[in-house]
Amino acid sequence: MADFKKLQSYVLTRLEAELDPNLSYHSVEHTIDVLEAAARIAQREQRTDEEIELVKTAAVLHDAGFLIQYFNNEPVACELAAKWLPQFNYTPEEIDAVQVMIMATRIPQTPQSELARIIADADLDYLGRNDFFTIGQRLYREFLRHGVVDGEQSWNRLQVSFLESHDYFTDTALDTRSAVKMHHLQELKNLVNSYI
């Protein structure tokens, strides 16, 4: 039987020790945040205990690729999952399911399974939460450092286009996060309109 607790301890310890400290958003705190959101959504979606454990496994591993590279990190996380999970008694079928979930966190999100829809929503749970702007500032700093944006105006324009194109997949996220997300979008649109 898979040993999620040992895997969780192993991965979080490695992320804590080895992630670039300049990753202000894709940090171990983000992984823990996604893990908590994934468990909550999976329970609300009435998934089995085994499915919830697989979702939590994918959540812990979904950003492990950042240990090796910044861009296109999801396939790297899948490789690490294939390497690490057998040591914690995961079956080949479970590893496949986890890899499908990890790839669902790639932007733009196109989840290929029911469980992948849960992890996709968990990864972007903050879009519909009250800490949206606080967490967004962490992502802004990280994007500036990696040349994704060149200042606040390009960042806020990016946020508007991202929120306009983003959809939640699970009933839980649609019910609990959509309204607040739309409120954030309107605030950002007002801000961007003031630039003109």
User: CB burial class (10 A; 0-12, 13-18, 19+) of residue 40?
Assistant: middle
Q: What is the average pLDDT across 148-177? A: 97
User: Which amino acid is it at 14?
Assistant: R
Q: With 90 as the cut, is the pLDDT of residue 8 above it?
A: yes
Q: What is the average pLDDT across 83-88? A: 98
pTM of the prediction? 0.96
Q: What is the average pLDDT across 89-110? A: 98
113 backbone φψ class: left, alpha, beta (φ>0; ψ -120 to 50)? beta
pLDDT of residue 94: 98
Nearest to 180 by CA among 141, 137, 133: 133
Q: How confident is the model at residue 178 (pLDDT cuts 50, 70, 90)?
A: very high
Q: Where are the beta strands (DSSP E) in the chain?
A: none
Instruction: Give per-residue pLDDT as tens, 133-153.
Output: 999 999 999 999 999 999 999
pLDDT of residue 1: 86
The Cα diameter of the chain in Å comes to 59
Please, what is the end-to-end C-alpha distance for the chain in angstroms?
Answer: 59
User: CB burial class (10 A; 0-12, 13-18, 19+) of residue 175?
Assistant: exposed
Q: What is the average pLDDT across 60-65? A: 98
Q: What percent of the chain has pLDDT over 90?
A: 98
Q: How confident is the model at residue 52 (pLDDT cuts 50, 70, 90)?
A: very high
Q: How many CA atoms lie within 13 A of 63 on its CB side?
A: 25
